[in-house]
Each structure stands twice: as C-alpha cells, then as structure tokens.
C-alpha cells in the first residue's frame, strides 16, 4: 500500500515529492501528482473544511479605496471627504481626503489623459498631510 498525502491545514501534499496536490475534479476517484505521478485517493479530501483569512493591508490600493467609509465635510468652497485611512505619522484611522485631477496640477507638471488623479489626505487628529497617486 502506498503512503497517503501529508495534510497541512486543508492542503494535501504528495508524500513522495512534497508537491501541492490539486483538488479532485467532478467525480474523479483519484488525484495524480503533477510532479512524480503519485496517485492519491480523492477520499483524502473528504471531511475537509477550508477557511481563508485576508489581512486588510492585503487588498490593492484601488480595492482598499472602495472599501472605505466616506463622509462629506463642507469647509468653505472645497468639499472634503472623511475617510478611513491610516495616518503614517500618528496612526489615527480617520483623515480628510481631496481628489485632484490632472487639470488642477497643470501648473506643476503635465499628465497624460489616461493617468490617474492624486488624492491628498490630512489626518483628522494630528493634521499631518500626505498624498497618493492613483
């Protein structure tokens, strides 16, 4: 009888070469190791629970921006948004944001029409300012 796969969490690894084994497709009764050809019974995957977790910083910038809570704050003629953004200076999690399009920055430098905007942040707590180019 051949050795059964090694289990780490919900993953199964070939007992001979250590390659991560694929999940069985459809009604397959066996899974073949792509590296050494070991045959693993599909029943090895029964009673497995797969749980995944993602750290909030794992999301790309664009996805993080869409997840943030935004609240409009009116100050003079400029409209600022209060967003959930970590201040690099004091660690506070709220900041005011303002998006500047390329036209507003023409006096500084020219941007191509397909380039993104710049988002200016100011910490609600310590008033530290920083920017992100989108």
- Tell me: the pLDDT tens digits for 36-63? 999 999 888 787 766 667 676 665 566 5
Contacts of 116 (CB under 8 A, 6+ apart): 133, 134
- Taking residue 130's Cβ as centre, other Cβ atoms within 10 Å add up to 14
CA geometry: angle 75, 76, 82, nearest 5 deg = 20
User: What SS3 state is found at 105?
Assistant: helix
- Does position 70 have pLDDT exceeding 90, yes or no? no
Which residue has 């995944």 as its token pair? 52
Could you tell me the pLDDT band of residue 105, with boundaries at 50, 70 and 90? very low
Q: Which helix (H) or strand (E) holds 73?
A: strand 70-75
Judge whether residue 76 has pLDDT over 60: no
Q: What is the CA radius of gyration of the chain?
A: 25
Query: Could you give the CA distance from residue 109 to residue 92 in angstroms, rounded to a whole number?
Result: 32
Statement: the pTM of the whole predicted model exceeds 0.75: no
Look at 36-40, 97-101, 107-111, 127-131 and tell me which has the smallest mean pLDDT: 107-111
What is the C-alpha separation between 66 and 78, in angstroms, rounded?
22
């Amino acid at each position: 009888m051949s050795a059964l796969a090694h289990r780490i969490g919900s993953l199964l690894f070939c007992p001979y070469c250590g390659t991560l084994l694929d999940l069985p497709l459809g009604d397959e009764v066996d899974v073949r190791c792509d590296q050494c050809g070991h045959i693993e019974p599909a029943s090895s995957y029964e009673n497995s629970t797969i749980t995944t977790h993602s750290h909030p910083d794992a999301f790309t910038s664009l996805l993080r921006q869409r997840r943030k809570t935004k609240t409009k704050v009116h100050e003079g003629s400029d409209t600022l948004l209060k967003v959930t953004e970590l201040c690099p200076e004091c660690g506070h999690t709220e900041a005011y944001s303002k998006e500047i399009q390329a036209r507003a920055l023409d006096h500084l430098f020219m941007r191509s029409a397909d380039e993104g905007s710049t988002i200016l942040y100011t910490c609600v707590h310590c008033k530290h300012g920083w920017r992100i180019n989108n």
